[in-house]
Amino acid sequence: MPNDLDIGIHDLSFSTTEFVLPHTVLAEHNGTDIGKYHVGIGQRSLSVPAADEDIVTMAAAAAAPVVARNGSDQIRTVVFATESSVDQAKSAGVYVHALLGLPPAARVVELKQACYGATAALQFGIGLVHRDPTQRVLVIASDVSRYDLDSPAEATQGAAAVAMLVGANPGLVRVEAPSGLFTADVMDFWRPNYRDTALVDGEGSIIAYLQAVEGVWKDYERQGGRPLEEFRAFCYHQPFTKMAYKAHRHLLSLCGGDTDKGAIERAIGLTTAYNAEVGNSYTASLYLGLAALLDQADDLNDEAVGFLSYGSGSVAEFFTGTVVPGYREHLRTAANREAIDRRTPLAYAEYRELHQRSLPTDGGEHLTPAQTTGPFRLAGIRDHKRRYEPR
């Protein structure tokens, strides 16, 4: 059931942070059996931003290779999805627009709805390309997941950014109609304006996620979507990788499908590789799963992939993408692996110091330590204004 005009993801690139905290280090600190992390939640490490690193620097680092490969002449819209916004008024995407030297004839906006925001941005972009197929839309998802130190959620932290170029005749994934949609007013995860770290009801969030799985699939069926057996693989939002397994098992049970462990592993196992090492990257998480799937699967030409995007609070969407023949020519497998492997491991005390660090709020001039080796950095603040610089 493709659209009349093939539109979807033409290019995809991601970045993560300068530092990494292995879960073995966290387990040693708090006396937790490492199996609780490696097996229980399916996580091996979590990305930690440097002092001069944030959602803007990660976003620019993710998007720069996309612009370098494809040019910027056709990019008239940048949509930045995040729940880690650095300003209550100005879009973080405006900083990225400047760092990348994009044309001034462009619209730049920021979208927010917990971890669902990037899917809203993707659908927004598809709509714009439908209106004018000569345009391309740069969709960026960038987040830093932070919880209180020594809290149950601490082990699920992470950080990453994904940049996607949306356009006609895409090189990677053609996005199909229809979508299944679901919204429910629940307080499973939230971060009030006066807090730097999120609040989460862990058990309640799992229940809300599974409720959303059921809701989006039922609506997808009502909209005339594909039957379950047509999908080769499924990408889920991964607050921790074992949540994808829980969600897919729930979907299979709902549809009377095979819930055998091997069948579930074949459907989603490859999608968890990057998230297991990066941690929860909120809006970027689902599309890190797509990157991992495309990089590792043997052959996905013309295969249907199901996408389930969930954002606490809650909003969810299920949609289909068909992998475009010849997609391997557009992959960035080596660069994706390098983004993860280049991180410097932290001792627990170093991680704790970075976690507790915050920018001054007095409006003075404050320079940030030069810790990151990436292409962009947060140089400091002056008069309450963030200053970014390329290397």
- Interhelix angle 23-30/348-356, rounded to 10 degrees, is 90
The secondary structure element, H or E, covering residue 273 is: helix 273-278
Q: How far apart are CA 167 and CA 153, in angstroms?
A: 37
Nearest to 102 by CA among 82, 131, 75: 75
Active-site residue identified among 10, 23, 97, 237: 237
Residue identified by tokens 């990436």 is 374
Nearest to 43 by CA among 206, 202, 155: 155
Catalytic residue list contains 115: yes
What are the backbone angles phi and psi of residue 271, rounded to the nearest 5°?
-75, -10
Length of the chain: 391
Q: How far apart are CA 319 and CA 264, in angstroms?
A: 19
Active-site residue identified among 53, 83, 110, 176: 83
Where does residue 209 rank: exposed (0-12), middle (13-18), buried (19+ CB within 10 A)?
A: buried
Catalytic residue list contains 38: no
Q: How far apart are CA 267 and CA 305, in angstroms?
A: 9
Enumerate long-range contacts of 296-301, CB under 8 Å, 24 or more apart. Answer: 296/270, 297/233, 297/270, 300/232, 300/233, 300/327, 301/325, 301/326, 301/327
Catalytic residue list contains 237: yes
Provide the sign of the torsion angle of the four alpha carbons 32, 37, 41, 45, taken in this order.
Answer: positive
Residue identified by tokens 């730097």 is 196
Report which residue type is found at 334: A
What are the respective helix, strand and coil percentages of the chain, to the nearest 5? 40, 25, 35
Pairing of strands 173-183, 7-15: antiparallel
Pairing of strands 304-311, 158-168: unpaired
What burial letters (b/e) apply to 212-232, b meaning 16+ CB within 10 Å?
A: bbebbbebbbeeebbebeeeb
Active-site residue identified among 115, 248, 250, 317: 115
Instruction: Fill in the DSSP letter of residue 19.
Output: E
Residues annotated as catalytic (active site), given as ranges? 83, 115, 237
